[in-house]
Amino acid sequence: MKIRTKDDYLKSLKEQKHVVYYNGQLVEDVTSHPAFMPHINAAAKTYEMALAPEYEDLATVVSHLTGERISRFTHIHQNVDDLIKKVQLLRAIAHETGSCFQRCVGWDALNATYMTTYDIDEKYGTQYHPRFLEYLKMIQATNRMVVGGMTDTKGDRSKPPSQQVDPDVFTRVAERREDGIIIRGNKAHQTGAANSHEILIMPTQAMREADKDYALCCAIPLNSPGIIQIFGRQTNDERKFGGRLDAGNPDYGLVGGETLIIFDDVFVPWERVFMCGEYDFAGILVERFATLHRQNYGGCKGGVSDVVIGATALAAEMQGSGGASHVKDKLAEMMHLTETIYSGSISCSAMGSKTSSGAYYPDPLLANCTKQNVTRHIYEIGRLAHDVAGGILATMPFEADLRNEKIGKYIEKYLAGVEGVSTENRMKILRLIENMTGGTALVESMHGAGSPQTQKVMYGRLGKLDMKKRMAKKLAGVKEDASKP
């Protein structure tokens, strides 16, 4: 079945019957559970927008493998224009959802695996790339949602995978069989996994020969026997169970509905295995995935920030401070920071290049700069929103207080702003700001696609410091000392 509409998507999740736990309870149907519906709605928006004529050029594309029109979320980038349209698409969807729509991680995993399987085959004469192409054709034909399985819990981070006391804190090959492999381990912080169909597992870091059982890339349906998902808590997540006003962004939620995924002796047939022991390519795959994912952040976070800016401007107008010069200045700064992170995504895309596999790859240094800016600018955008909105953002009463027959009139009276603006509408805008600038959203901006230190490590590798020192010496007339090595 090809998933085209929101209804198709919901039906596919109902039929999947995968194992997901929420707050200690097994969830029978994620599509009817209030904890999951906002995240499902956000992911469903990617299917809905692909059917809208005005988004056809951004949300769909012709497959280079089959010649069929497919979702861009299943596409392998064929040129710089594809890289730029990726970023434009992410900003457009963020305008509709104000939250994470979750399909980027799997998309980046598909592209990173496409490039790396080609290179492994070139070196070792393996058949991973043809296997992966068949898998990719299936994903394109069915439009199934893929989660990219990168992050392991890692246990004692001072030790490599093979030296851990518990070998399963990194996902590994526990057994090799004639028909496939048995895997054991976990993947953490898996955005959108509770409402995805497949997971594409990748190694979480560079590996050495002793770690070769952890150098693993494979694709698994999320309803496979032995896979268990445990849903993670989010800031104010219980508001999903109450009134819509308290939720802030009731239809699309907070971030991406992350889960901890357990692999308890899961069987994977060889046709779905795309790396198995080629430890020297683990770091390459990680770096490619990270670069592709960091490319995204100016797009999706730029789009989300556009909504935050609009909500902040409305909050100021509703309380009568919209005309103040300091508010205008803060809104202008928020716009500047938003366009700065967006321009980073566009620049690393425009400077992208063709890999040996034929797929296009963003400029890695600029992609890392983009993500580094996001770790800073999103916090500043949130701070400015809090500054303008005021302390009421943190102390506003419940929606139930507003609806209460005895005390609701006091909420209406004392939380009123300018004449002609309803108290309820003012509260809705304030809750939206709180939702979009609260704890979970900020932490995801910091650590999604890698924490700030990982980008600084890449600066050291990609920043060409030696070349820059040579340029400085040349201009200053400093002679090289022949006595030094």
* Residues in CB range of 40: below 8 A, 6 or more apart: 9, 10, 13, 30, 31, 195
| CA–CA distance, 64 with 73 (Å, rounded to integer) | 14
Nearest alpha-carbon partner for 207 in 160, 239, 169, 170: 160
How many C-beta atoms surround the C-beta of residue 474 within 10 A? 9
- Whether the predicted pLDDT of 40 surpasses 80: yes
- Residues 301 and 254 reside in one and the same domain: no
* pLDDT at position 484: 60
Share above pLDDT 90 across residues of the chain, in percent, rounded to a whole number = 90
C-beta of residue 431 within 8 angstroms of C-beta of residue 396: yes
Residue 107 domain-assigned (yes or no): yes
- Where among 284, 303, 324 does a domain terminate? 284
In contact, 256 and 102? CB cutoff 8 Å: yes
Identify the active-site residue in 33, 189, 197, 293.
Answer: 293
Give yes or no: residues 301 and 224 share one domain.
no
Residue ranges in 270-324 assigned as alpha helix (H) = 282-319
DSSP classification of residue 232 = P
pLDDT (mean) for 351-374? 97
Residues 272 and 398 placed together within one structural domain of the fold: no
Task: Check pLDDT > 90 for residue 412.
Answer: yes
**Domain shared by 299 and 259, yes or no:** no
Question: Is the pLDDT assigned to residue 483 strictly greater than 70?
Answer: no
Average pLDDT over residues 17-28: 96
pLDDT tens string 135-178:
999 999 999 999 999 999 999 999 999 999 999 999 999 999 99
What's the pLDDT band for 485 if we cut at 50, 70, 90? Answer: low
Note whether 49 and 55 are within 8 A (CB): yes
344 and 258 in one domain? no
412 is catalytic: no
Are 297 and 279 contained in the same domain? no
Inter-CA distances, 305 with 214, 314, 382, Å = 38, 14, 9
List the strands of the sheet with 227-231, edge to edge.
25-26, 20-22, 227-231, 259-269, 180-190, 172-176
Is residue 276 among the annotated active site residues?
no
Catalytic site residue from 117, 151, 191, 259:
191
- Catalytic residue status for 134: no
- The answer to whether position 161 is within a domain reads yes
Per-residue pLDDT band for 208 (boundaries 50, 70, 90) equals: very high
pLDDT band at 453 (very low <50, low <70, confident <90, very high): confident
Catalytic one of 104, 276, 348, 369 = 104
Q: Is 293 a catalytic residue?
A: yes
Helix (H, G, I), strand (E, B) or coil at 33: coil
Q: Average pLDDT over the chain, rounded to whole?
A: 95
Average pLDDT over residues 445-458: 87
| Statement to judge: residues 271 and 299 lie in one domain | no
Report the candidate in 295, 308, 374, 366 with the shortest Cα–Cα distance to residue 84.
295
Question: What is the number of other CB atoms lying within 10 angstroms of the CB of residue 365?
Answer: 18
Half-sphere exposure of 170 (CA within 13 A, CB side): 26
Could you tell me the residue range of the domain that residue 51 belongs to? 6-284
Query: Is residue 485 a part of any domain in this protein?
Result: no
Known catalytic residue: 178?
no
Cβ(335)–Cβ(307) under 8 Å? no
Q: Do residues 112 and 229 both lie within one domain?
A: yes
386 counts as catalytic? no
**Residue 444 annotated to the active site:** yes
Q: Is residue 132 part of a domain?
A: yes
Quote the CA–CA distance of 115 and 22 in Å, as a whole number: 36
Of 100, 217, 348, 369, the catalytic one is 100
Q: Which residue has the tokens 């190694």?
A: 203
Instruction: Classify residue 323: in a domain, yes or no.
Output: yes
| First-residue to last-residue Cα distance in the chain | 64
Catalytic residue (one of 252, 279, 297, 361): 297
pLDDT tens, 86-136?
Answer: 999 999 999 999 999 999 999 999 999 999 999 999 999 999 999 999 999
pLDDT at site 153: 96
Q: Which of 284, 314, 337 is the last residue of a domain?
A: 284
| 333 included as an active-site residue | no
pLDDT at residue 467 is higher than 90: yes
484, part of any domain = no
Task: Indicate if 134 and 242 belong to the same structural domain.
Answer: yes
Does the pLDDT at position 379 exceed 70? Answer: yes
Q: What is the CATH number of the domain that holds 433?
A: 1.20.140.10
**Per the structure block, which two tokens stand in for 331?**
């809104």
Within-domain flag for 479: no
On whether both 257 and 291 belong to a single domain, the answer is no
Mean pLDDT of 316-332: 98
User: What CA–CA distance (Å, rounded) separates 420 from 324?
Assistant: 19
- The predicted pLDDT at position 482 comes to 59
pLDDT of residue 255: 80
Residue from 217, 218, 276, 300 carrying the catalytic annotation: 300
Last residue of a domain, one of 284, 309, 330: 284
- Do residues 166 and 155 make contact, with C-beta atoms less than 8 angstroms apart? yes
Per residue in 278-321, pLDDT (tens digit) is 999 999 999 999 999 999 999 999 999 999 999 999 999 999 99
User: 211 in a domain, yes or no?
Assistant: yes
Q: What is the CATH number of the domain that holds 148?
A: 2.40.110.10
Are residues 329 and 238 both part of a single domain?
A: no
Same domain? 326 vs 392: yes
Domain count, the chain: 2
